[in-house]
A = this chain, B = another copy of it.
Amino acid sequence: MPVNPKRRTTLRDVAEAAGVSPSTVSNAYNRPDQLSPGLRERVLEVARQLGYSPHPLARGLRRGQVGAVGVLYGDSLSYPFADPVAALFMQGLSSVIEAASLGLLLVPRRTVDDALVRTAAVDGFVVYSLFEHDALVERVLERGLPTVFVDHPGRAGFPAVRVDDLGGAQAAAAHLLGLGHTRLGVVALPLGGADAANLSCCNASRARLQGYEGALPGTGAWMQVLEVAENLPSEGARAARDLLSLKPRPSALLCMSDQLALGVLDAARQMGLRVPEDLSVVGFDDIPEARRTIPALTTVHQPLLEKGVWAGRLLLAQLRQEPLEPPPTLPTHLVLRESSGSFRG
């Protein structure tokens, strides 16, 4: 008894079994008004019995859409689940995408090659925090799909969601300078270097550095910048140990992310430095945990959920061919908590 090697049940099979044309089966699914209710019910029943389900790729190919949007970001696949900043952004984005009944395809930058970007079955892309000169940006644009850039200058014709990183960073630095600090350390996220070849860096980092530096002129303070390799507390701790062994020691540390600042607080504790009495620490992002550290972290708030929501909105607008003004640069603001205090020489 030669059993047919397993093959998909196809629309044609259903049509034959029901004694109708393929078009009718298709219509039963997609245009109920095109056939009599009785027949439709019968067709659907036959389909059910045969265990038929339409092939999503075939359908997508014909219709020109798949019902999913891709998120491209500059780290490992697991990053948005591990990093609180990315996670919040994704939550904002998700809420909009979900309301539109779309799926979300995660496309990490750190894949062997760019195959994933070229083959991702999506209707549009959100490019999150990729480095400005990343070649992958070109690959995305080649797809010719609706695209939104986040934390990236973007391209003419494509909306971008931007945050006032520069202003926030400047406020953070000005805050410390105002407290009398004159020796500042900066725990910096990857900056990409002059050659612009390091792709793990993102544009926000550069804007933040610029902001820090912008607060300096005329104050007579100095600033020592130390770059970390990854956005992790452990890296922040390591950088803090290095910066705090400088002579003279910085009396305040500006951290380009709260993740780094968490590590800095740990390191300070281990080194027996009291925060903020011996050392002031200022973070960036205002992740939920920043409020719960001891001491609670002074940091720069950026509207992460809102950022995601805007990215989603702008992408949907493109998908639906509706016009939608991209938002102005989203504001940041300094949140004063307990980890920063005035300098006591």
Contact = CB atoms under 8 A, between A and B. Distances in A.
Nearest to A108: B98
Interface in A1-35: 6, 8
A78 B57 contact: no
Given A78-B91, A81-B80, A95-B77, A57 B103 contact: no
A121 interface: yes
B101 A112 contact: yes
User: Copies of this chain, how many?
Assistant: 2
- The binding surface of chain A is classed by DSSP as mixed
Interface string A65-88: 011101000001110111000011
Given A56-B119, A81-B90, A51 B98 contact: no
B105 A105 contact: yes
A59 B54 CA distance: 17
Q: Could you say which of A70, A90, A110, A119 has the most chain B C-beta atoms within 10 Å of its C-beta?
A: A119
A30 B57 CA distance: 20
Contacts of A97: 77
Interface in A88-123: 88, 90-91, 94-95, 97-98, 101-108, 110-113, 115-116, 118-121
A57 B142 CA distance: 15
A34 to B, nearest CB: 19
Contacts of A61: 55, 57-58, 61
